[in-house]
Structure 1
Amino acid sequence: MKKFKSYYMHLRHPRSLERKWIFPLAICSIFSLFLLFSTTLTSPDGGMKFYRYLSFSATASANTTTTSIFVESKLRPIPISSLPSPPRLAYLISGSAGDGAMLRRTLQALYHPYNQYVIHLDGESKAEERLNLYNYVKTHPVLGKFKNVRMITKANLVTYRGPTMVANTLHAAAILLKEGGDWDWFINLSAADYPLVTQDGTKLMLMINVYSLI
């Protein structure tokens, strides 16, 4: 009767016996893996292979990161020789009676050896005032060296906002086209005007505006 009961219990609960072997089997497997891993590290060949594997993985990941982040390394710098030269400016500075001193001040503020200039005092100014301006241009050491300032000695009678003002502008443009050489921009100013930036800054702004329109 006892044998029959034990046989019955064995048939009824077979999984309880199998579960008893899972825990010892797991411990043996973990211990075997630990021994294998420690043997690989302690042996000279195994440690070197493991180190090479780590270094190769780190190098590959670093190269991948570098190529993905630093895209600027693929860009080619623009050679300096291909950059355009700064624009040449041609100015007409006009004044009337009593504007001789202001005209000289404006000319000094706008002057650059790279540019061309035409100055004019209209017919309402006195002959003495025009002569003083003429002598200033001729005797100035810098203006006399580069010879890029011209004065309209035969004064035109200019009416503000009239056709004579346009005729005077065309007269100055004709002088610049004939004697001023190569220039890119023509600027018409009065003796009362005064620049807010230097001539180099003006050239830079013109270059930026031109390239923004292209």
Structure 2
Amino acid sequence: MKSRYLSAISKPQIGKMTSGLQWEESDVGAPPPENPLRIVYMLVVHGRAVRQLKRLIKAIYHKDHFYYIHVDQRSNYLHNEAVQLAQHYTNIRVTPWRMITIWGGASLLTMYLRSMQDLLEMSDWPWDFFINLSATDYPTRTNEELVLFLSKYRDKNFLKSHGRDNAR
């Protein structure tokens, strides 16, 4: 994933702010951690880009992770396709509710907060990190590389705001 767009929130939220963490290329090919963490990917999609959604899921899919999909209320075709896709996997779910969201608007934040509430109430999904993606995102790292990196920093939160640099 592009690290500047990676937004991972650990659960529970007791992390410490750390700047300057970098991917360590020497870790590539390292054995998986003894206690691998589990990621919940929040996929926020709209329009009719079914192939794009399937391509993203194929790129990030792992049986040990979870995938929660919100389809914009104006995208009925995509919603029907996402529901059909989710029926084939126990670790993929589509939100039972839908909202009209506007990128960068308060509706998007409301949708994320409601989704987070859903995810926190899903006792059958024991996740460690939350990563939000849209259908236009695409990973630059493998799941194994991401798990290895996040496993080393289980007590951290990774947040990046858009706009001016406020890391003063």
Aligned with 1:164 (options 102, 107, 111): 107
1:87 Cα deviation after fit: 1.5
SS at match of 1:118: strand
**What does residue range 80-99 of structure 1 map to in structure 2 within 5 Å?**
85-99=35-49
1:111 Cα deviation after fit: 1.0
Is 1:136 aligned to 2:136, yes or no? no
CA contact (8 A) 1:100 1:121 kept: no
Aligned with 2:97 (options 146, 154, 170): 154
Specify which structure has the bigger relative contact order, considering alpha-carbon pairs within 8 angstroms and separated by 6 or more residues: 2
Which residue in the other structure is 2:119 paired with?
176
What letter corresponds to residue 205 of structure 1 in structure 2?
A: F
The unaligned stretches of length 5 or more in structure 2 are 1-32, 157-168
SS at match of 1:206: helix
Measured in 1, the distance between the counterparts of 2:155 and 2:117 equals 28
CA contact (8 A) 1:100 1:130 kept: no
Following TM superposition, where does structure 1 have runs of at least 4 consecutive aligned residues deviating by more than 3 angstroms?
Answer: 208-212
Structure with more helix by fraction: 1
Measured in 2, the distance between the counterparts of 1:195 and 1:131 equals 25
1:209 Cα deviation after fit: 4.2
Which residue in the other structure is 2:131 paired with?
187
Equivalent pairs: percent with the same residue? 28
The structure whose Rg is larger is 1
Measured in 1, the distance between the counterparts of 2:155 and 2:39 equals 17
Q: How many residues align?
A: 123
1:210 Cα deviation after fit: 4.9
Which residue in the other structure is 1:112 paired with?
62
After superposition, the CA RMSD in angstroms is: 2.1
Is 1:207 aligned to 2:142, yes or no? no
Could you tell me the TM-score, scaled by structure 1's length?
0.52
CA contact (8 A) 1:106 1:194 kept: yes
Measured in 2, the distance between the counterparts of 1:211 and 1:174 equals 21
1:154 Cα deviation after fit: 2.7
SS at match of 2:133: strand
Measured in 2, the distance between the counterparts of 1:174 and 1:100 equals 26
**What does residue range 20-59 of structure 1 map to in structure 2 within 5 Å?**
none
Could you tell me the TM-score, scaled by structure 2's length?
0.66
